[in-house]
C-alpha cells in the first residue's frame, strides 16, 4: 500500500532488507583423477548441479541464509571433478508483513547471494584445471514453490 506517490502511508515504516555479512561456510573441490582428467577430449562431460537454500533465525530481525551448491562432472563413467559450496549471508529484515517474511528470506536473500557463489564456483573449477563453470541463473521463485509443494505433500504421506 502506498499513499499515491510510491511512499508507504504515514505512520507505517518502510520495509527493509539489509545484508550484514556474506561468507563461505564450506568449500570443497576434488579433482580425483588428475592429471589424466585434464587431457582434452572431444566429448562434453555430463555436469549435474544441485542447489538448496536453508535459513535460520538468528535474532528478532536477523536471518542466516545458506545457499548450498553441489556439482559433479563426469565423462565415460570417470569423475572429472566435483565440488560443494555452502555460501552464507546474514540478513536483517524489518517492517515486512509476517505473510511476506518467509518468501522474502527464501527467495530474495539467495538471489542476492547467488552471483557471489557463482563466481566462487567458476574460480574453483578454473583453479582445478578446467574451463570456468558458469552456472546458469537460478529461478529462486520456482525453487521456492517446488520446495513448498514438496513440504505440503510430506505430511499427507507420513
Question: Which tens digit of pLDDT belongs to each residue from 114-158?
Answer: 999 999 999 999 999 999 999 999 999 998 998 888 888 876 554
Which residue has 570443497 as its cell numbers? 28
0.75 surpassed by pTM: yes
Beta strand pairing call for 46-57 and 78-94:
unpaired
79: three-class secondary structure by DSSP = strand
Tell me what pLDDT residue 76 has. 86
Assess if residue 109 is contained within a domain.
yes
Assess if residue 116 is contained within a domain.
yes
Number of domains in the chain: 1
Tell me what pLDDT residue 1 has. 44
Beta strand pairing call for 78-94 and 62-75:
antiparallel
Assess if residue 26 is contained within a domain.
yes
Assess if residue 52 is contained within a domain.
yes
Sequence length of the chain is 158
Q: Which grid cell sits at 95?
A: 517492517
- The DSSP call for residue 95 is S
Assess if residue 105 is contained within a domain.
yes
Assess if residue 37 is contained within a domain.
yes
Assess if residue 158 is contained within a domain.
no
Assess if residue 9 is contained within a domain.
no
Residue 53 domain boundaries: 16-136
Q: Report the CATH number that the domain containing residue 115 is assigned in CATH.
A: 3.10.420.10
Tell me what pLDDT residue 8 has. 55
Distance CA 127, CA 67 (A): 21
Distance CA 88, CA 142 (A): 20
Q: What is the pLDDT along the chain (158 residues), one digit of tens a residue?
A: 445 555 555 667 899 999 999 999 999 999 998 888 888 887 889 999 999 999 999 999 999 999 999 999 999 889 999 999 999 999 999 999 999 999 999 999 999 999 999 999 999 999 999 999 999 999 999 989 988 888 888 765 54
Distance CA 25, CA 45 (A): 28
Please say whether the beta carbons of 91 and 109 come within 8 A: yes
Amino acid at each position: 500500500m502506498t499513499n499515491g506517490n510510491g511512499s508507504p502511508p504515514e505512520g507505517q515504516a518502510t520495509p527493509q532488507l539489509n545484508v550484514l555479512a556474506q561468507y563461505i561456510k564450506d568449500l570443497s573441490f576434488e579433482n580425483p583423477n588428475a592429471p589424466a582428467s585434464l587431457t582434452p577430449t572431444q566429448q562434453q562431460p555430463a555436469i549435474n548441479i544441485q542447489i538448496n537454500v536453508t535459513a535460520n533465525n538468528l535474532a528478532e530481525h536477523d536471518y542466516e541464509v545458506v545457499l548450498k551448491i553441489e556439482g559433479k562432472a563426469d565423462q565415460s563413467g570417470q569423475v572429472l571433478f566435483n565440488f560443494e559450496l555452502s555460501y552464507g549471508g546474514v540478513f536483517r529484515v524489518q517492517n515486512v508483513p509476517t505473510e511476506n517474511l518467509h518468501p522474502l528470506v527464501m527467495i530474495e536473500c539467495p538471489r542476492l547471494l547467488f552471483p557471489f557463489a557463482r563466481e566462487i564456483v567458476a574460480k574453483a573449477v578454473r583453479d582445478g584445471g578446467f574451463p570456468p563453470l558458469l552456472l546458469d541463473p537460478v529461478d529462486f521463485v520456482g525453487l521456492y514453490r517446488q520446495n513448498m509443494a514438496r513440504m505440503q505433500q510430506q505430511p499427507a504421506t507420513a
